[in-house]
Chain A
Amino acid sequence: MKPPALAPSLIKVGGRYLLTHPLQSLLMLVGIALGVGVAVSVDIANASAAQAFELSTEAVAGKATHYISAGPLGLDEQTYTTLRSAGLELPMAPVVSQLVTSPQLGNAPLQLMGIDPFAEQPFRSYIAGDNEDLPSAALGAFYAIPGAVLLSSEMAAQYGLAEGDTLELNINGIMLPAVVAGLLQPRDTLSAQALQGLILADISTVQEFSGRLGRLERIDLILPSQDRAAIIAELEARLPEGAVLLQSESRNQSVEQMTTAFRTNITALSLLGLVVGVFLIYNTVTFSVVQRRQSFGTLRALGVSSREIFAIVLGEALLVGVIGSLVGLALGIVMGRGSVALVSQTINDVFYTMTVREVSLPTQSLLKGALLGMAATFVAAIIPAWEAAKSPPRRTLSRSQLESVSRRTLAQASVAGALLAIASALALARLNLQLIPSFGAMFGVVIGAALVAPFIMQVSMPLLARVLAPLIGPLGRLAPREVSASASRTSPAMAALMVAVAVTIGGSLMVSSFRASVVDWMEVILRDDIYGSVAGASITEPQEAIEPDALRRLESWPGITSARYLRNVMVDSPHGPLMVAANNNPDDGEEQVYFAAEGSGEEVWQAVQDGAVLLSEPLANRLELGLGDSITLYTPHGPQDFEIAAIFSDYTSSRGNITMWLENYREIWGDQSVTAFSVEVAEGTDVDALVSELQGELSPEQLLHIRSNSTLRAESLSVFDRTFLISSALHIITTNVAFVGVLSAMLSLQLEKQRQMGILKAIGLTVRQIWSLTLLETGLIGALSGLLALPLGYIIAQVLLGLINRRSFGWTLRMHFETEPFIEALLVAIAAALLAGLYPAWRASRRSAADAMRFD
């Protein structure tokens, strides 16, 4: 007779244990579900943001392989006509686009795209693939009605719009009327998604709306791969001066790189939540093994093999893992909706304007989440399952021996942990690691420290017993000894709490150091009294032109002593489009924080006025350029090299910018636009009153956002804080997972010690003393976790500031040491542990001595 793979009764042994210990099963489930939920929600947010990015770039670029551009002022539309009639037989389409918002469309940023419907087919088939997409009636209206625009039918339905409705479009702060001339019925999901953030109009309409009459933003081209070099040469020969032929993909590469780094950062943070969850699962499974040592001993005596015991323990864990992962997926989807908002907000603030209209639920994210949950459960459960299986029957029957095995394992783990932490720290310090390996090494330090921590607990608790006993009597001796004697259960809880608290300290210290750097930096660069830009434009890098009339009036406004202008503009370069910030502030040389410069600020600025440029640190890092190098930009007169006079600190965006003298920019590019201004006011002027006056009267036509120096700083800091909302949310969740871990561990301990509690009660311990003992035990775990988390948190902050941030965003940040994050974290650790001890203490205190003693 061949025995079955696993006897049905053995399956019941596992299954019923879970059912008869619902609280423990629930805690384990919560650990897995939270870990998976966080990872999935971040993945969904990332995927949605990535998809929105891809769609917005694809929607705009379509199938174009190349494009012709001529800088900020665009191309003369004659160039298109000339190329069209040159007999090149290449698909080409003229484009003029403009970021707009509309109160009727939820005020989210949208791309208004001016196109030639007859040239579009090869490029953006979802716009004009065939007549199904672009109804002929709508096409007629496209030309016949002034301000005619087309929307996707889905967008119209979302905002309750129909054909013939009017819209107000906010273009550069000026409200312009438009008419919904037709609705596009997308053929498939892809077309529908591509059309999500787009409003289409005839090219002349957009030219008129954006004040670019006769100009094209670019001409899209599809160049065949065959003979491409020859075609490029032929095209370039026909281009007017200042126009360049560029590869379409170069346009978005750098932005994609940076947002990928951002997404990697939050993914790593979310995975830390799962690491803490692993400790929790380990804790629960270990407890289930310890609690059933007698049952396993009996089973082994009855002839159940090690492999079968292993299968029971692992099977139970995996069953909870499956359910926990499923709950985690649901949780991830719900939390994902919140995370999408946070992630897209950060991307909008720091990287580029994008609207995530749809939360995508990629099967890949869900599959990844489920696999992560199962893998985490497997990793966490395999050691206790193996411990349960490998113990010979006699040892399985003996608890003290199990603890002695556990102590040996702890010693071995601490040696392995110390080696892992040291090797990872050395790799971080000595090797020039890229982003993902840097995170890997940081995880190595964290996990290594988590493995060493229980050993420190083992060593320190007996010493603590000696200190506490004279102070608070027998409880002071008993509590530390209990913590150390139950190492198999207290260790994972302690390690989990330490990791969570250290991550919180690391994160807070990084954010507060970053914030302090930004505050210091703003102190240096923001010296004027009032700042202004077009309303609705990016607070950090406004690119929308201010009406020249407003600027003329500003210069002669009473109370204003001087006005400075800034032009932010994207300029093409061999590295793709780069942000140029040209200003005419004569003192700008003194109002920068230099990262690398030769000579004084005044000398540097003189060099800039003479034609050199400054590179912000993130850009210099990304392009690997330094002092004395030069950078090439495409100008209307062809490619031009600009000497780099200095590298300056800049936290405006991680995209970085090139600062140049406004007069030089105007001379080279012939662009007189101004996108922001700042003014100094006469002494004694009421700045707030002047701000209100300017806001109301400077520009009746164009909405401007004018604010005082202090308001601008406050707004900038609120953008900064918003950027870190997602990290803070992830820290809170990680700490919660750790809290569940401690609760689970304490509950396990108390359940197991019921007999001991009974004895203590029988010999005269009061209810109050039972409470004190339990809370003292959890408090000790919390305090030690918190204390050990302090140095680890500091190391994490150093790695985040010095390595991860530089790799991800190009910023070098210095540590601004503050004691608050440390004190807060220590208090959080103790409070979480005490809170986790309340329920077990309550249970222990309620149980009668007789009952408790009967338990064993």
Chain B
Amino acid sequence: MNTPTALLRISGLSKSYEEAGQRRPILRNVDLEIQPGEFVALLGSSGSGKSTFLNLISGIDLADVGEIWMQGQNLVAMNEAERTLFRRNHIGFVFQFFNLLPTLTVLENVTLPAELRGIPLKQAQARAAELLAQVGLAGRESTFPDRLSGGEQQRVAIARALSHDPLLVLADEPTGNLDEETGTHIMALLEQLTRQAGKNLVMATHNLENARLADRVLRMHEGKLVSEPAQR
């Protein structure tokens, strides 16, 4: 499949790590296309390569071989500084352990990506406040992350992932550190907000329930991607 309208086009992507003097392959020759507005879930057991795959898409890590095309640019051909700029402008992240910055308030955490993108502070703050209201945290703007529950922290993380208007949101086990009920709420919020904003979402998870919310489910097994029918 080689669709000219695809938001993200990945071909022949491989990645291995050195362990005890030997190369251990993590991803093997992965091909994938994601269409604009699509929500893709990556299912797989621990160590199957899901996080590595997200790291490569975001430019955090670099592939051994292959291509990752987005916005007419090949991430694999970019240097570190270019990949950083690309991530800053086009990618939103939601992590399993929330990874909020402890020294910044809730509002400042959410504002940061927009500020980095060069959006004027006032505008960035207004957008952040709006997103915080959408995730149900209006009135908690001045709170520091250590005063929030896990679910609240992940809501902030979702708001942060959308604050700079990215093309693609990457979520790595977003509910992995939350209880079931909170996880369900968070997942619903993540889906709703990304769809509402017209953003793409690529989510790594081992939770089948969460995967069911996606338009397309891909299973990662021994470094290879296997397509599964959507289960919605």
- State yes or no: do A and B come from one complex: yes
Known A-B contacts A303-B84, A303-B87, A303-B91; A393 and B60 likewise in contact (beta carbons under 8 Å): yes
Complex Cα distance, B88 from A1, in Å, reads: 13
Please indicate the chain B residues that have their CB under 8 angstroms from the CB of A394 in the complex: 55, 60-61
Complex Cα distance, B84 from A306, in Å, reads: 8
CB distance from B76 to the nearest CB of A (A): 15
Q: Are B103 and A301 in contact (CB under 8 A)?
A: no
Interface residue? B200 (CB, 8 A) = no
Please indicate the chain A residues that have their CB under 8 angstroms from the CB of B80 in the complex: 306, 392
A window 298-325: CB within 8 A of B: 298-307
Q: Are A300 and B103 in contact (CB under 8 A)?
A: no
Q: Are B61 and A1 in contact (CB under 8 A)?
A: no
Interface residue? A2 (CB, 8 A) = yes
A window 353-402: CB within 8 A of B: 392-394
Q: Which 4 pairs between the two chains have the least Cβ-Cβ distance? A: A303-B88, A1-B118, A16-B103, A3-B118
For this complex, 24 residue pairs linking A to B, each with C-beta atoms less than 8 Å apart, are A1-B118, A3-B88, A3-B116, A3-B117, A3-B118, A13-B101, A13-B103, A16-B104, A295-B101, A295-B102, A298-B99, A298-B100, A301-B99, A302-B88, A302-B113, A302-B116, A302-B160, A303-B87, A303-B89, A304-B116, A305-B81, A307-B81, A393-B60, A394-B60
Q: Are B118 and A4 in contact (CB under 8 A)?
A: yes
* Chain B interface, >50% SS class: helix
Q: Are A305 and B93 in contact (CB under 8 A)?
A: no
Please indicate the chain A residues that have their CB under 8 angstroms from the CB of B118 in the complex: 1-4
Q: Are B87 and A9 in contact (CB under 8 A)?
A: no
Interface residue? A637 (CB, 8 A) = no
B window 63-110: CB within 8 A of A: 80-81, 84-89, 91, 93, 95, 99-104, 108-109
Question: B residues near A, CB below 8 A?
Answer: 55, 58, 60-61, 80-81, 84-89, 91, 93, 95, 99-104, 108-109, 111-113, 115-119, 121, 160
Complex Cα distance, B88 from A307, in Å, reads: 14
CB distance from B85 to the nearest CB of A (A): 7
CB distance from B197 to the nearest CB of A (A): 18
Q: Are B115 and A9 in contact (CB under 8 A)?
A: yes
CB distance from A386 to the nearest CB of B (A): 14
Complex Cα distance, B103 from A295, in Å, reads: 9
Please indicate the chain A residues that have their CB under 8 angstroms from the CB of B84 in the complex: 300, 303-306
Complex Cα distance, B55 from A297, in Å, reads: 12
Closest to B93 in A: A301
CB distance from A383 to the nearest CB of B (A): 20
Please indicate the chain B residues that have their CB under 8 angstroms from the CB of A13 in the complex: 101, 103-104
Please indicate the chain B residues that have their CB under 8 angstroms from the CB of A2 in the complex: 118
Q: Are B99 and A7 in contact (CB under 8 A)?
A: no
Complex Cα distance, B121 from A307, in Å, reads: 21
Complex Cα distance, B108 from A81, in Å, reads: 88
Closest to A14 in B: B103
Complex Cα distance, B55 from A58, in Å, reads: 74
Q: Are B55 and A303 in contact (CB under 8 A)?
A: no
Please indicate the chain B residues that have their CB under 8 angstroms from the CB of A10 in the complex: 112, 115-116
Please indicate the chain B residues that have their CB under 8 angstroms from the CB of A305 in the complex: 81, 84-85, 88
Known A-B contacts A302-B113, A304-B88; A297 and B99 likewise in contact (beta carbons under 8 Å): yes
CB distance from B88 to the nearest CB of A (A): 3
Q: Mark A1-23, 1 if CB is under 8 A from B, else 0.
A: 11110011110110011001000
CB distance from A401 to the nearest CB of B (A): 12
Complex Cα distance, B84 from A294, in Å, reads: 17
Please indicate the chain A residues that have their CB under 8 angstroms from the CB of B109 in the complex: 9
Q: Are A12 and B87 in contact (CB under 8 A)?
A: no
Q: Are B119 and A1 in contact (CB under 8 A)?
A: yes
Complex Cα distance, B109 from A8, in Å, reads: 11
Closest to A303 in B: B88
Q: Are A300 and B60 in contact (CB under 8 A)?
A: yes
Complex Cα distance, B86 from A393, in Å, reads: 14
Q: Are A306 and B81 in contact (CB under 8 A)?
A: yes
Complex Cα distance, B62 from A392, in Å, reads: 10
Please indicate the chain B residues that have their CB under 8 angstroms from the CB of A1 in the complex: 117-119
Complex Cα distance, B102 from A16, in Å, reads: 9
Please indicate the chain A residues that have their CB under 8 angstroms from the CB of B61 in the complex: 392-394
Q: List 5 additional contacts besides A9-B111, A10-B112; criterion CB under 8 Å.
A: A1-B119, A9-B115, A13-B101, A303-B113, A304-B88
Known A-B contacts A300-B84, A305-B84, A306-B84; A12 and B103 likewise in contact (beta carbons under 8 Å): yes
CB distance from B214 to the nearest CB of A (A): 22
Complex Cα distance, B103 from A8, in Å, reads: 13
Please indicate the chain B residues that have their CB under 8 angstroms from the CB of A392 in the complex: 60-61, 80
A window 56-104: CB within 8 A of B: none
Complex Cα distance, B160 from A299, in Å, reads: 12
CB distance from B73 to the nearest CB of A (A): 15
Complex Cα distance, B114 from A4, in Å, reads: 11
Q: Are B101 and A303 in contact (CB under 8 A)?
A: no
Partner of A298, one of B81, B101, B108, B111: B101
Complex Cα distance, B115 from A299, in Å, reads: 12
Closest to A20 in B: B103
Complex Cα distance, B104 from A4, in Å, reads: 18
Known A-B contacts A7-B112, A305-B84; A299 and B117 likewise in contact (beta carbons under 8 Å): no
Closest to A19 in B: B103
Partner of B104, one of A9, A294, A393: A9
A window 643-683: CB within 8 A of B: none
Known A-B contacts A16-B103, A298-B101, A394-B55; A303 and B60 likewise in contact (beta carbons under 8 Å): no
Complex Cα distance, B109 from A13, in Å, reads: 10
Complex Cα distance, B127 from A541, in Å, reads: 83
CB distance from A293 to the nearest CB of B (A): 11
Known A-B contacts A9-B104, A9-B108, A304-B88; A4 and B99 likewise in contact (beta carbons under 8 Å): no
Complex Cα distance, B95 from A7, in Å, reads: 22
Known A-B contacts A304-B88, A394-B60; A7 and B116 likewise in contact (beta carbons under 8 Å): yes
A window 17-59: CB within 8 A of B: 17, 20
Q: Are A303 and B115 in contact (CB under 8 A)?
A: no
CB distance from B61 to the nearest CB of A (A): 6
Please indicate the chain A residues that have their CB under 8 angstroms from the CB of B116 in the complex: 3, 7, 10, 302-304
A window 278-306: CB within 8 A of B: 294-295, 297-306
Complex Cα distance, B93 from A7, in Å, reads: 19
Complex Cα distance, B85 from A20, in Å, reads: 30
Please indicate the chain B residues that have their CB under 8 angstroms from the CB of A20 in the complex: 102-103
Please indicate the chain A residues that have their CB under 8 angstroms from the CB of B100 in the complex: 298
Q: Are B113 and A298 in contact (CB under 8 A)?
A: no
Complex Cα distance, B103 from A17, in Å, reads: 6
Please indicate the chain B residues that have their CB under 8 angstroms from the CB of A306 in the complex: 80-81, 84
Q: Are A294 and B99 in contact (CB under 8 A)?
A: yes
Complex Cα distance, B58 from A298, in Å, reads: 12
CB distance from B104 to the nearest CB of A (A): 6
Complex Cα distance, B102 from A718, in Å, reads: 59
Please indicate the chain A residues that have their CB under 8 angstroms from the CB of B95 in the complex: 298, 301
CB distance from B226 to the nearest CB of A (A): 25
Closest to A308 in B: B116
Complex Cα distance, B99 from A533, in Å, reads: 80
Please indicate the chain A residues that have their CB under 8 angstroms from the CB of B108 in the complex: 9, 12
Partner of A12, one of B86, B89, B104, B117: B104
Most buried by B among A20, A306, A307, A392: A392
Complex Cα distance, B115 from A2, in Å, reads: 10
Closest to A3 in B: B118
Please indicate the chain A residues that have their CB under 8 angstroms from the CB of B115 in the complex: 3-4, 7-10
Complex Cα distance, B116 from A2, in Å, reads: 9
Complex Cα distance, B160 from A295, in Å, reads: 14
Complex Cα distance, B40 from A200, in Å, reads: 98
Please indicate the chain B residues that have their CB under 8 angstroms from the CB of A300 in the complex: 60, 84
CB distance from B10 to the nearest CB of A (A): 19
Complex Cα distance, B117 from A303, in Å, reads: 9
Complex Cα distance, B118 from A2, in Å, reads: 5
Closest to B170 in A: A301
